[in-house]
Homo-oligomer: A and B are copies of this chain.
Amino acid sequence: MNVDVFQTLADPTRRRIVEALKGGELAVNDLVARVDIQQSGVSRHLGILQEAGFVQVRPEGTKRLYSLRPEPFQELDAWVTGYRSLWEARLDRFGQALEQRRKTRMGTPKPEEEPP
C-alpha cells in the first residue's frame, strides 16, 4: 500500500486490467487474453496493483483469482472531491436540481455567470 494511486494507474495496461476486473474476479490467464502483453508482464502488473491495494487474490486450485478492492478508488474519490468546487461551487449553494441541467453547458471555460 506504499505506492501512490496515481502512479499505479498511470500505466495503461494496468488500467486495462482494472477495467477488466470491474466485471468480477478473473484468473491471470483470463487477463492475459484481454491485454496484449506477455503473461509475466501481467503477473508483474498484478503484483504492483496488489501492493497498491487495488486487487486481492484468492487461490483456487492452481489458479489465482484476482478481484478489485474499494480502498484506492475511495482515496481517489476523496482526492477529486477536493477539486469539485471547480465546477460545482455555485451550484452547491444553489440546489441539486440544477446540477443535472449542468450537462447542457459542460464545456464552459468561464466559471463566472450570474443567474438573476
Residues in chain A within 8 A of chain B (CB atoms): 4, 6-7, 9-10, 12, 15, 22, 56, 68-71, 73-74, 76-78, 80-84, 86-87, 92, 96, 100, 103, 106-107, 109, 111
**A106 / chain B contacts, CB cutoff of 8 Å:** 74, 81, 92
Q: How far is the CB of A97 from chain B (nearest CB, A)?
A: 9
User: Given A6-B9, A74-B87, A81-B109, 12 other A-B contacts at CB below 8 A?
Assistant: A6-B6, A6-B15, A7-B10, A22-B82, A22-B83, A68-B83, A70-B87, A73-B80, A73-B83, A73-B87, A74-B111, A78-B109
Instruction: Establish whether residues A86 and B103, one from each chain, have CB atoms under 8 Å apart when the complex forms.
Output: no
Instruction: Establish whether residues B111 and A86, one from each chain, have CB atoms under 8 Å apart when the complex forms.
Output: no
Instruction: Establish whether residues B78 and A76, one from each chain, have CB atoms under 8 Å apart when the complex forms.
Output: no
Q: Can you report 24 residue pairs joining A to B where beta carbons are below 8 Å apart?
A: A4-B12, A6-B6, A6-B15, A7-B10, A9-B10, A22-B82, A56-B109, A68-B83, A68-B86, A70-B86, A70-B111, A73-B84, A73-B86, A73-B87, A74-B106, A76-B80, A77-B84, A78-B109, A80-B80, A81-B106, A81-B109, A92-B106, A96-B100, A96-B103
